[in-house]
Structure 1
Amino acid sequence: MFCLASFRLTRLIVFDEITSIIRRPFHEEVVETDEDGMTNTYLVIKGNGLRKWFGELISCYWCTGIWSSAILYGGWSIWPTVMETVMIILAIAGAASIIETIVLRIIDNE
């Protein structure tokens, strides 16, 4: 349960559109179009010092995963009943997103 909950919380922070408001003060997305008409999106970290450090942190899946795990485990240690509910919801969502990814890849390969 911890693994799936941490996976989902990490993806929520680093990638999901719903949390872009959290990332906006620290990140800027630059979209460039190449010669073939393909668009590429680049992430630019804003600011210096603490702002830049936090921007780097929430742009790194591995870094955010460590902190997400620590927050979930620490919260569960302090408030097990509340955090268990939160983690169950995140774990179910995490498992569902993994299944959805697998199903989409199967459909794309048909």
Structure 2
Amino acid sequence: MLSIVEFFLLALASFRLTRLIVRDYILEWMRRPFFNVKLVTNDQGVEEEWVEPKGFIGEGLSCQWCVGVWSSVIMVIFYLIVPFGEWLVFVFALAGLQSILYAWTDRL
């Protein structure tokens, strides 16, 4: 059974991996083949990007809840099976906490 600390570390690590896959610019190259991007002019005459997912994988990659489940599974597998997995989870957890703190302080 996991301790409370391990649970929160895994939660933060899963959060970070999910955000990395679904939203962050650094993995845009991975998402790009699964999305169509269209330029649309809104009512004010400003061009906006409209992103449409392509197929099953595109729908999955655009859903933070879907990716979150798979990210959680990946983090638990790394934590329990891979020899250096604990360190990977720890690094992702720190990055997740940093991301939350940054978003929180950015609003102040």
Asked if 1:53 corresponds to 2:61, the answer is no
TM-score between the two structures when normalised by the length of structure 1: 0.82
Q: Is the 8 A contact 2:60 2:66 kept in 1?
A: yes
Unaligned runs of 5+ in 2: 1-8
Separation (CA, whole Å) in 1 of partners of 2:84 and 2:39 = 41
Residue 85 of structure 2 corresponds to which residue in structure 1? 83
Shift of 1:37: 4.1
Asked if 1:101 corresponds to 2:83, the answer is no
Shift of 1:62: 0.3
Helix, strand or coil: the match of 1:41? strand
Unaligned runs of 5+ in 1: 47-51
Shift of 1:45: 1.7
Separation (CA, whole Å) in 1 of partners of 2:24 and 2:44 = 28
TM-score between the two structures when normalised by the length of structure 2: 0.84
Q: CA RMSD in A?
A: 1.4
Asked if 1:17 corresponds to 2:25, the answer is yes
**Aligned residues: percent identity?**
39
The count of aligned residue pairs is: 100
Separation (CA, whole Å) in 2 of partners of 1:14 and 1:2 = 18
